[in-house]
Amino acid sequence: MFKPQAMDKIELIIPQNEVVRTTEALAASGIFHHTPAVQTIIETASRDSDIWQTWTTDLIALERRILLVMEELKMNEGAPPSVPPHIIEPRVAELDIERLEHEAETPVRELEAAKRRLTQLQKYVGQLTPIADLDVDLGTLRNLHYTFIMLGSMPVANIERLESSLEHIPFILITLRQEEHLATVMLFGLQQDAAVLNRAARSAYLNPLVTPEDYRGTPAQAIAALQAGIERTRQHIAEYEREIAHLHEMRIRHLRHLLWRVRATHALAHTIAGYDHRPHAYLVTGWVPAADRTRLEHEIGIVSEAVIIETLEPRQEDIGHIPASLKNPPLLSGFQGLVTTFGQPNYDELDPTPILALTFPLVFGLMFGDLGHGLLLLLAGLLLASRRIKALQSAAGFGVVIAFCGASAMLFGTLYGSIFGFENVLRAVWFRPLEQITDILLFAIGVGALLLSGGIIYNIINAALRQHWGYLLFNRNGVAGLLFYWSLLGMAARAFGAPLPIPGGVLAILAVICGIGLTFAEFFERLVERQHPLFKEDVGTYIALAFFELFETLISLFSNTLSYVRMGAFAVAHGALSLVVFIIAEVIGAPGSVGYWIIVILGNLFVIGFEGMIVGIQTLRLEYYELFSKFFSGGGTPYTPLSLIPKKGKISSVEGASG
């Protein structure tokens, strides 16, 4: 729980003919973290003949084709299968997809064409309606000897431009009807200018109305015929939609299965393409939790006896790249999420999740102490964690964090004697922050000093685990830093009259010794670690910089500690905000009246929502920037066991933004 799981580096030598089965077994085990070698990827990528690379490319294209058919048949891809489906050769998959495409093509294309025809017919009706009363054959209008007439639709934005372009030509342009972007217009001119008018109209995107043969006659006759045509087309659309619905019903399972087979095969091909390909064999390296190594060997042994598995000693270049598998109880998954949001822990350092799970609710409760508000948060958190709200199921882990914070707020609410903002109902077990502001602020500083010390101790343990003894002893977040901090705290406490068993002189000497250690920390660290040269730059520059370093350490310890004063300030603010709610409630109505209670309830909800959010953000800030900065930087490699079911769904979108 405190350290990532111990990992073993293993190397598998897989005969070429066993590579598929073995990779499937590795993925099925759910514990093998594959490490593709960089040079191998490049080498493989440049070898066009490599079958697996070709498979990868082909399968991306096939996936797109399947998704297109599914979209045309109005299907979604469904949930990923629980067990990886069998792999499928791209050639076989393509034959299957071609058949499905062919099956869907006719009704889908016919439907699209029918919809376009419907739109076109409706457009014709729209264009003819303004001249419906005209008792002239449309054919006659088009074939006049001396007059040019063009009825059609064009973008509204182009009307002015068309008029401008015909400046030197006699014409009349009448807008018969105008919709949002399009207008139905009639262009009149002289037949002798027809060529110019036609070119001008065309370049202004005036699409002339050319009704099919069936819709000739007077405008009224054409409209009646068009209406009948619209009705027929609607019937066709309904027929095609029924046909597509039938295909949907028939093929949905098959298409989904095929889609996930293609995706699983892509994952497999992509993985194998990343293996180190030797003549007749593949060399595969990766990591497994040490406790599960034997199980993996057993499972691979069942699949193939020809595969050789060796456990390797991690090499120098592996340091920093060993995947960190965090093993925390499910109850702490929400806190682990907060840790990984900040950064992925390294393999050789302590997992900050337990310390976060302990301090996060503590800090939150201290700032948000109220028995009633805490209870509501606890209930809301438990409801979230129970996964009963479908839309918020993914936030179940966060529900546990809220529940812990709620419980802590209840505890501090009891200590402060506060329930739903009422400060006179419960007896304060400890004291009321609003009445003893100095005490709560000093207490907050004390808690801050404790947390910072905890952070530094965590860092010392991390340094010990990495065997960085120089860093452990002399770093500002190491032993020297901790003793320096404590001696300064001790001197400050004595200055304020606190009875300490250690004499002031001893504290001062300790501070001076540690201060010297911190000032020349880099020199001492290099000395202990036997690194040369002892000074990276010339001695004069180093000494000048070293004193500034000490000054910066001092300032940062001071500001880090003072930063925690906000915990006390928020505890006071929480009480004050509740007081404001009651003052407003009393202005609205006498205590006990309906208006009074409405304001009290709304005010409490506001305090929980608004102040709860602010306190949550402040807590996160204190954890991330004050505490984590002492011992945790992130940058580790997450443990991601090989899987043939892509977590991100669509494989073609998994490529990086710049890829």
Partner 1 sequence: MARSGVTAYAQVNATTRALYASLLAPEAWRALIQAPDLDALLVQLEKTAYAPYLKIDHQLLTPRRTVYQLRWHLARGYEKLIRLTPEPASQLIKQLWQLYEVDNLKATLRGVETNASWDEVRRLLSPMPRHITLTNDDIQRMLASGSIVRAIERLRHTPYYDTLLHAFERYEAEKNLFPLEVALDLDYRRGLWQAIHNLKGLDYEQALRLVGTSIDMDNLLWAARYRVYHRLSLQEIINYTLPFGYQVQDADIRAIAEGEEIIAVVKRIYPRVEALDDIPAQTRDNVSPQRHQLALVERALQRHIIKLCYESFLGNPFHIGVPLAYLMLLEYELRDLTVVVEAKASQLPVERLTSMLTIEWW
Which residues are at the interface with partner 1 (CB under 8 A)? 42, 45-46, 57, 61, 64-65, 68, 71, 112, 116, 153-155, 157-158, 160-162, 164-166, 169, 181-182, 196, 199-200, 202-205, 207, 652-653, 657-659
Compare residues 49 and 424 and give the one whose CB is closer to partner 1: 49
Compare residues 120 and 629 and give the one whose CB is closer to partner 1: 120
Chain centroid to Cα 340, Å, comes to 12
Report the SS3 class of residue 177. strand
Q: Six-digit token pair at 239?
A: 């027929």
What DSSP assignment string belongs to 30-70?
T--EE---HHHHHHHHH-TT-HHHHHHHHHHHHHHHHHHHH
8 Å CB contact between 145 and 275: no
C-beta atoms surrounding 341 within 10 Å? 11
Closest contact distance (angstroms) between CB of 181 and partner 1 is 5
Closest contact distance (angstroms) between CB of 655 and partner 1 is 9
Closest contact distance (angstroms) between CB of 111 and partner 1 is 11
Closest contact distance (angstroms) between CB of 163 and partner 1 is 10
Angle among Cα 569, 572, 576 to the nearest 5 degrees reads: 130
Compare residues 153 and 553 and give the one whose CB is closer to partner 1: 153
Closest contact distance (angstroms) between CB of 244 and partner 1 is 15
Compare residues 62 and 377 and give the one whose CB is closer to partner 1: 62
Q: How far apart are the C-alpha atoms of 188 and 201, rounded to whole Å?
A: 11
**Strand 637-638 to 276-278 pairing:** unpaired
Phi, psi of 638 (to 5 degrees): -70, 150
Dihedral sign (CA 78, 80, 84, 88)? positive
C-beta atoms surrounding 153 within 10 Å? 22
Closest contact distance (angstroms) between CB of 161 and partner 1 is 5
Compare residues 85 and 189 and give the one whose CB is closer to partner 1: 189
Closest contact distance (angstroms) between CB of 201 and partner 1 is 9
Compare residues 62 and 339 and give the one whose CB is closer to partner 1: 62
8 Å CB contact between 572 and 439: no
Compare residues 158 and 643 and give the one whose CB is closer to partner 1: 158
Closest contact distance (angstroms) between CB of 490 and partner 1 is 44
Residue listed under structure tokens 């809301």: 380
Q: How far apart are the C-alpha atoms of 273 and 55, rounded to whole Å?
A: 9
8 Å CB contact between 632 and 352: yes
Compare residues 71 and 552 and give the one whose CB is closer to partner 1: 71
Closest contact distance (angstroms) between CB of 160 and partner 1 is 6
Q: Six-digit token pair at 82?
A: 């629980």
Radius of gyration of the chain (CA): 38
Compare residues 181 and 253 and give the one whose CB is closer to partner 1: 181
Compare residues 166 and 338 and give the one whose CB is closer to partner 1: 166
Closest contact distance (angstroms) between CB of 206 and partner 1 is 9
Closest contact distance (angstroms) between CB of 573 and partner 1 is 29
Q: How far apart are the C-alpha atoms of 415 and 374, rounded to whole Å?
A: 13
Closest contact distance (angstroms) between CB of 154 and partner 1 is 8
8 Å CB contact between 557 and 488: yes
Q: Six-digit token pair at 438?
A: 């100095």
| Angle, helices 38-46/51-72, rounded to nearest 10 degrees | 80
Closest contact distance (angstroms) between CB of 221 and partner 1 is 24
Is the backbone of residue 426 left (phi > 0), alpha (psi -120 to 50) or beta? beta
Compare residues 179 and 249 and give the one whose CB is closer to partner 1: 179
Report the SS3 class of residue 184. strand
C-beta atoms surrounding 170 within 10 Å? 11
Q: Greatest CA separation found in the chain? A: 119
8 Å CB contact between 416 and 431: yes
Compare residues 86 and 199 and give the one whose CB is closer to partner 1: 199
Compare residues 36 and 81 and give the one whose CB is closer to partner 1: 36
289: Cα within 13 Å, side-chain hemisphere: 17
Q: Six-digit token pair at 512?
A: 């001076």
Q: Six-digit token pair at 81?
A: 């299968």
